[in-house]
Amino acid sequence: MSSVEPELVGCVVRNASAEGCQAYVAAQVAAVRRRGRFPGPRRVLIIGASSGFGLAARLQLAFGGGSATYGIAFERAPSAEQGGSAGWYKQQAFDQLAREQGVQAESRFADAFLPATRAQTLAWIRTHWGQVDLLVYSLASSVRIREDGQRCCAVIKSLHNSLEGWGLDLAAEQLIRQQVEVATAQELADTEAVMGGDSWHAWVSALQQADLLAPGFRTLAFSYEGPAFTHAWYRDGTLGAAKRHLLQTADQLRDALVPLQGDARVVMCKALVTRASLVIPFLPIYLMLLMAVMKEKGLHEECLQQMARLFADQLYGPGAPRCDALGRWRLDELELRADVQHEVLARRAALTAENFRTLGDYDGLRAELLRQHGFAPLSG
């Protein structure tokens, strides 16, 4: 399909194939179409619309729910020196398919943290839509530049003790030993500023103050928790702290939306192969084992299937989101099934540098990452 070869560094693909990304999005659209239509919301704003759950949500809502969507993403455009990012090509592919199939869509490449981006987006909504029915917050970034110029960088660290364990290097095709250090107070604060709920709150508040929220407006953000053995390096680390801040934000927004009979929720998703997830220390190992077990049990889902369950089956379908004691909507119940986790733990205990390919779905994880960047899976 493309003469471009993938450039892998660790678990990061540093380039993308334009033609492959277009084919990837086209295949996702076809899958949504095959599943059938559902009555989606009229007007949807998606913050972080070019990859992962944000792109999957946009695909389901636009091509399955008939929603008009406005997607914002901060991606690298192609230049004379280098190609564009996968997210840039995928958002371009989405726009092209939307035009061809008569789906209402507007896209913007911009930094969603910037007040100027909010102001320009609000002006567009006021002119073209009048109001918004749903805001999907799926921003995945490691850096935020504040209005005063301060640079905040998110880190993936522990809050208590340094940790060591197996990691995965897809470029070298081997296991590696990884270590996670303890975060400083400033690193924790910066991580919450980047990955917590500040920006989500700013977007919803700005829309509400401008009278751009429709009656019954809903907003949601995505999160993850995982099984108990992942908590030391996820839930109980800087990432978990940022996710708790996200949950607190949902509670605040829910209170603020009472006059509109609106709602704000955090959606707990299953662990999946995304650009963001594979840079988390130790998580690729867990993902590889989880994928193998869930595929064997016929339970495996990717982002698109998770978003189909959320929007087509639950939120705008015949069911209702499954809510936990903290008010979070749960989509991770299949991952956390006792039989699934029992088998994952057994394989994790037996894992070595020699048998990781057979105990886990190494080939499937690698192929999915490459597909997301527009590269056909490697043979074998």
For 263, the 3-state DSSP assignment is strand
For 73, the 3-state DSSP assignment is strand
> For residues 221 and 139, what is the distance between their CA atoms, to the nearest angstrom?
9
Contact 69, 1 (CB under 8 A): no
Contact 20, 374 (CB under 8 A): yes
Q: What secondary structure does DSSP assign to 175-223, as a single string? A: EEEEEEPBPPHHHHHHHHHHHSSHHHHHHHHHHHHTT-EEEEEEEEEEE
> For residues 180 and 165, what is the distance between their CA atoms, to the nearest angstrom?
9
In the block, tokens 């990717």 appear at 302
- Encode 218-245: b = buried (16+ Cβ within 10 Å), e = exposed: bbbbbbbbbbeebebbbbbbbbbbbbbb
Q: Which two tokens stand for residue 26?
A: 């086209």
> For residues 333 and 322, what is the distance between their CA atoms, to the nearest angstrom?
9
Q: Which two tokens stand for residue 283?
A: 């998580």
Look up 234 and say whether it is catalytic.
Answer: yes
The DSSP H or E segment spanning 198 is helix 198-209
Length of the chain: 380
Contact 45, 136 (CB under 8 A): yes
Closest C-alpha to 362, from 292, 299, 273, 303? 292
> For residues 320 and 317, what is the distance between their CA atoms, to the nearest angstrom?
8
Q: Which two tokens stand for residue 246?
A: 């996200």
Q: Which two tokens stand for residue 140?
A: 């995945």
Which residue among 234, 286, 316, 362 is the active-site one? 234
Catalytic residues: 234
